Structure 1
Amino acid sequence: MLPKEMMFLLPHNPSADPLFCVWYEGESIGNDKIASYIPQAQSNDSGPAYTGRETIYHNGSLLFQNVTLNHSGVYTLQITTILGDSEILAGQICAYFWYLTAELPTPFITSNSCNPVEDQDFVTLRCDPKTQNTTYLWLINNQSLPDSARLEMSSDNRFLTIHSVIRNDTGPYEYRTWNLVNVLHSDPFILNVLCE
């Protein structure tokens, strides 16, 4: 598996014994040449779109190092065979997924009330911090939340409102966040419903 900051473009079913391969940035061949490779001479040449982070290989593959969002876009490969046939392959690359793997901050829960009164109060639990490209899940007593008309979740799942709290709402609440790299749990938040 490649490190997060690397991207490898490998042509699907590359032509056998190419005379030369040329990678271009963009949808067509032209002035935006990144690099070319001549297998017989085992030599490569860089073009105007070369940044020093690209390496071209004998089979037509191209390696990018230190990938950023600026690498998103269309790349075109031109392969010319010994017979003079030319094949042009283009594809779009999205580099955004590299940023989905950022480390997550540890979540924590806050509330408008720790000791609500049964059948009188409502409670809103909130999880912070807000993070992008993350999946969220609320748990009570290490279980998924029950289906209930009294439970209301915000559209981003960061806020949980319990209307007209009852005794059974007592318990530790936990919040989980995860992305492609890790899963994090908040410390348990103890909601203590008071009975009158």
Structure 2
Amino acid sequence: MHSGRETIYHNGSLLLEKANLKDTGFYTLRTYNRLGKILTTAFLYLRVHSFFWKCGCVATCAQLTIESVPPSVAEGRSVLLLIRNPPENIVQFVWFKGMVDFRNLLAIRNITGREPTVWGPAYSGREMLYSDGSLLIHSVTQRDPGLYTLRILRADMRSEEAQVQLQVDSGRMGP
């Protein structure tokens, strides 16, 4: 995986020069004792943005997407459905398990007021909605895989949707 752009320092720091979109992903740092036993493990997700110049300022060129972190989650572990490139002027996030249908409603959160999250019929009690709209699912089970849909309502009353397919790996159990 070494591309010649990486420098590792004695304190464990990693310098990645001229980062590009291919560098996006998970990075792991492990420390070992003198006998080769693992002492600590740290994980980091690096996100590299693409951009272009428009009217003298930087503008992102990507559309709203959702990323499953990790891409495939072990049963019993947690997964984050992470929002990428959200639009501006968001007033509401609405999550569905499956397609957009009231029976599939997981959660609604209004951004403009201080109203609490409203949980829907598909809510299992293991979901947590972050202020940026990302959805965390704890203790994933074999009932959780499938399509998840996010609908974002903007201040101009236009909406945008994105979907993600959640994959659960039943071959390994989480702690």
Deviation at 1:30, TM superposition (A): 3.2
Deviation at 1:54, TM superposition (A): 0.5
- What is the distance in 2 between the residues matched to 1:90 and 1:51? 19
User: 2:103 maps to what in 1?
Assistant: 31
1:81 aligned to which of 147, 154, 159: 154
- Secondary structure at 1:31's aligned position in 2? helix
1:7 aligned to which of 79, 86, 92: 79
Percent of aligned pairs sharing the same letter: 29
- Secondary structure at 2:156's aligned position in 1? coil
User: 1:48 maps to what in 2?
Assistant: 121
Q: Is the contact between residue 6 and residue 66 of structure 1 (CA under 8 Å) also seen in structure 2?
A: yes
Distance verdict in 2 for CA 1:100–1:89, change over 3 Å: same
TM-score (norm 1): 0.47
- Secondary structure at 1:49's aligned position in 2? coil
The answer to which structure, 1 or 2, has the higher relative contact order (CA under 8 A, 6+ apart) is: 2
Runs (4+) of structure 1 exceeding 6 A deviation are none
Deviation at 1:64, TM superposition (A): 0.3
Q: What are structure 2's unaligned runs of at least 5 residues?
A: 1-42, 44-69
TM-score (norm 2): 0.52
- Secondary structure at 2:143's aligned position in 1? helix
User: 1:66 maps to what in 2?
Assistant: 139
- What is the distance in 2 between the residues matched to 1:18 and 1:49? 23
Q: What are structure 1's unaligned runs of at least 5 residues?
A: 104-180, 182-196
- Secondary structure at 2:157's aligned position in 1? coil
Deviation at 1:13, TM superposition (A): 1.1
Deviation at 1:28, TM superposition (A): 2.6
- What is the distance in 1 between the residues matched to 2:163 and 2:153? 15
- Secondary structure at 1:52's aligned position in 2? coil
- What is the distance in 2 between the residues matched to 1:90 and 1:36? 16
User: 2:91 maps to what in 1?
Assistant: 19
Q: Is the contact between residue 29 and residue 76 of structure 1 (CA under 8 Å) also seen in structure 2?
A: no
More strand by share: 2
Deviation at 1:95, TM superposition (A): 1.3
Deviations 1:126-173 (A, max 9, x none): xxxxxxxxxxxxxxxxxxxxxxxxxxxxxxxxxxxxxxxxxxxxxxxx
- Secondary structure at 2:103's aligned position in 1? coil
Deviations 1:100-131 (A, max 9, x none): 4449xxxxxxxxxxxxxxxxxxxxxxxxxxxx
- Secondary structure at 1:68's aligned position in 2? coil
Deviation at 1:85, TM superposition (A): 1.1
